[in-house]
Amino acid sequence: MKYFSRNLLLVALISAGSTVAIVPQAALAYDIDSTSVLDLDEEGVAIRGFDPVAYFKVGKPTEGSAKFTASYKGATYHFANASNRNAFKAAPAKYEPQFGGFCAMGAALSKKLDGDPEIWHVVDKKLYLIVNKDADAAWLKDVPGYLVKANDNWPKIRDKAPKDL
């Protein structure tokens, strides 16, 4: 598999008639050749090991632990504690990130970009990750509009490799 550093990824976003250049900052690599619907690391871990339940319970990104894990739809999720793991197991669809953990703004623009678990939003009780602060700033200009676009685009891009979009 070929892995591509997010530092090298440059995506031009068009937002409200202006061009916004988005250069991902994090050094984490994701597989640009993968057709997976999930944004996973090389070990199959989702959200870079952050606890998906914590976004809802404590309102901030919280690193999970390999001591507390659960599998769902082919991904391994890490949790900060057993209580969060149990909450996830009881209702995984309630806590899983939307668009497989890929960037919601990217999905709105028909791109599969690596979602950053530290740049996130809960909208209508759903977790959305964003690739970087520039994309987040664009996202915040029209969250409802971008959600419509992302939801419309996702079925068309979900099974494609990021490099093909």
Tell me: pLDDT of 10 over 50. Answer: no
Contact criterion met (CB below 8 Å) for 18 and 32: no
Residue 21 in this model has a pLDDT that exceeds 80: no
Q: What percent of the chain has pLDDT over 90?
A: 79
Give the pLDDT score at 73: 96
Quote the pLDDT of residue 145.
98
More confident residue, 22 or 160: 160
Q: Which tokens sit at 47? A: 């959200």
What's the CA gap between 118 and 61, in Å, rounded? 6
Rounded average pLDDT over 8-32: 44
Please give the average per-residue pLDDT across 51-66, as a whole number.
98
> Which two tokens mark 68?
């507390």
The mean pLDDT value for 36-46 works out to: 94
Task: Judge whether 70 and 33 are in contact, CB under 8 Å.
Answer: no
Quote the pLDDT of residue 27. Answer: 34
Mean pLDDT for the chain overall: 87
Query: What pLDDT band is residue 17 in, cutting at 50, 70 and 90?
Result: very low
3-state secondary structure of 122: strand
Closest CA to 46 of 113, 105, 110, 97: 97
Quote the pTM value. 0.84
Q: How confident is the model at residue 75 (pLDDT cuts 50, 70, 90)?
A: very high
Tell me what pLDDT residue 54 has: 99
**Nearest one of 155, 154, 146 to 15, comparing CA atoms:** 146
